[in-house]
Each structure stands twice: as structure tokens, then as C-alpha cells.
Structure 1
């Protein structure tokens, strides 16, 4: 009685490893971009929860925002990416920035991120 062996060949295993390796490599490029974005969202949320923040001037609000970002190691957000404008009884903060990371050879991964937070007098803001 002859038994047939079944399973993956060495070439098939190498191909599967190569595909998995490409996805892991792409994840290593994308995860820091999204981690930074969630750090921006956390900074905006904590800023809106600070008591009396809507009574401060926009320059002070921006300074407090960047102090929170410094803790999160968010290096891609610059002052020109932050817009603070009057809205109703407070402010609206809009952070819009782009991150570009090299992927393979001449291919880049580009992420465009935008976060908005309302800061109102009397209570914390809502997204």
C-alpha cells in the first residue's frame, strides 16, 4: 500500500513567506502614521476637556495643543497644519496634515489625516 504525501512544497512556502513579509513591512510603515493620528485626536479631546479653555486666546490654545502633541511624539504636525477659528460660543480646531513614507524603491505611502474638535464655553467640546 502506497501513501501519498500532502503538504506545501518548499517553493510554495517561500511564496507564502514573501507575501506575509510584504504585508508585515507595509504594516510597519502604516502603523506609526495611524498611531500619530490617534495621538492628535487624543490631544484635541483632552484639550477640549480642560476647564476654561474656550476663554483663552487662540495662540494659547495652539500652544497647549502642541504641548500635548510633544508627549505623543507627533512630529509631522506643524503649526501651519492647525487652524483655530471662532465658532458659536467657542472655537473650532482643525488639524489637517499629510504624512509620506517611502515604501519600496520609488513607491511611497501617503496618508492624509484630518481631525476636528469643537471647544465650547462651559463644557467640553464634541467631535
Structure 2
């Protein structure tokens, strides 16, 4: 049985493999850089959500709730982008928590990624 020279198997070319490695590297770099803001946001949401569901915490005045949340942020090693990122409002027995901020992540040279987060929680005073 004779094989034709054109039907022989051929592997990937060097440039084909190199282009796949470069594209995969770019996506992995972006994923690693964006991981931190998303992980910090997950922690912030967890802290604020637990405060909005805690009846003991909701009995306190808004200023005390804010200072307790800031202490929890320090313990969890996260920080808000600015003090205005978290608003806590007491409206006739309902405590409303709003997390609204954005994080700028430097990507490559002069290219930045802006990640925007908006979360809303509320809890009823006991």
C-alpha cells in the first residue's frame, strides 16, 4: 500500500503555536489583573450583606453601623474606593445600604480597564 506524499500527517507550525500562546497569554494577563477587584467586591458585598441581615447591627444608629462596617473592611483587608462608595440611609425603619463605585485597573501601557459595581441591600429595624 503506497501513501501519497500529500496525505501524510503534519503537525502545527511554529507560528500557529506561537500565535495561540500569545493570545492565551493576553487573556490570562487580563484575567489575573481583573481578579483582584472582583474578589475585593465579593468581600465587600459579603460584609455589607451580613450587616443588613443582622438584627443587632440594624438597631444601632447609622454612624455606628458605618464605623462597624469600616472595622470589618479593615479586618478583611479590603477598602472602599472612596467614602462615598457606601451610603447608608435610615428611611422610616428601613436601613438602605448602597455600594456604588468603580475601580480603574491599569492593563497595558496607557490602557486601563474600568470595572463598575452597584449593589443594593436593605434591612428592617427590629
Query: What is the TM-score with the length of structure 2 in the denominator?
Result: 0.86
Could you tell me how far apart the structure 2 residues matched to 1:109 and 1:61 are?
Answer: 32
RMSD (Å) for aligned C-alpha atoms: 1.6
Gaps of 5+ in 1: 123-127
3-state SS of 1:16 partner: helix
Give, in whole Å, the separation in 2 of the partners of 1:118 and 1:51: 12
Find out whether 1:68 has 2:72 as its counterpart. yes
Alignment deviations for residues 63-105 of structure 1 (CA, whole Å, 9 cap, x no partner): 1111222233223433222211123422101111110011011
Say whether 1:97 aligns with 2:101. yes
CA distance in 2, matches of 1:94, 1:77: 14
Q: Which residue pairs with 2:60 in the alignment?
A: 56
Of the candidates 18, 21, 33, which is equivalent to residue 17 of structure 1? 21
The structure 1 segments of at least 4 consecutive aligned residues displaced by more than 6 Å after TM superposition are none
Matched residue, 2:91: 87
- With CA pairs under 8 Å and 6+ residues apart, which has the higher RCO, 1 or 2? 1
Query: Is residue 51–residue 58 contact of structure 2 (8 Å, CA) maintained in 1?
Result: no
Instruction: Tell me how far apart the structure 2 counterparts of residues 109 and 68 of structure 1 sit (CA, whole Å).
Output: 28
Residues 1:76 and 1:53: Cα distance change in structure 2 (over 3 Å): closer
Distance in 2 separating the partners of 1:4 and 1:76? 61
